[in-house]
Amino acid sequence: MKISDLYEQQLTSQAKIEKWLEEQRITEYEIFLGSGIKQFLVNVNKKVNISNLKLKEIPVKFHTVMGNFDCSMNFLTTLENIPTALHGKLFCCFNKKMTSLKSISKRIEYCEEMDFTGTPITHDIMGLLMISGLKKVIGLPEDITKYITPLLMSSDFWRPTSTHKDSTTHFTRQELIDIQDDMITKNLDTWANL
């Protein structure tokens, strides 16, 4: 198997994952062997930089990263295998094939800041409002940035969550429905999906 082939499929053995992490100079990690969908989850105790590798998808399942996660300048179309808990910033810049953040809140439970500069996101951003800890998103079109930034910064909507001790989430289900309705009335309806 050529190394370039590894970038087009998810790695499913501990040896292959360890080799890939080593090639990317990712250290201070542990691999949770588990089973089923929780098999081969990777926790990293520092930042991860997998930018500019021509990845079509992230080939390992990251779970927790204790630092920034940079997957910029690849060919990603989704955030599949992105860290579930990201104790730092997500840099997902210049992924020219990614147009949607669909299901982002199912992939990321906690993140502090995200940067999508140069990534042509055109729809499905409501999930951002469901990510614990998120206070700033950069790189979305100006009309949506003006709309979403005050919502992220609104301390009135921060509440404790059950999944992360000392963490908070933004909105109740009804508040999200109200925000979606408001976005639709402001002709931002393509953004209003989860």
For 69-90, what is each residue's pLDDT tens digit? 999 999 999 999 999 999 999 9
- Name the token pair of 182: 């408001």
Q: Is the pLDDT of residue 8 over 70?
A: no
CATH topology of domain 3-191: 3.80.10
Looking at residue 4, its amino acid is: S
144 vs 61: CA distance, rounded Å: 30
168 vs 161: CA distance, rounded Å: 5
pTM of the predicted model, to two decimals?
0.79
Q: Closest Cα partner for 70 from 36, 46, 97, 104? A: 46
- Listed by start position, the domains of the chain span 3-191
Q: Is the pLDDT of residue 17 over 90?
A: yes
54 vs 113: CA distance, rounded Å: 24
26-66 pLDDT, tens digit per residue, is 999 999 887 665 678 999 999 999 999 999 999 999 999 99
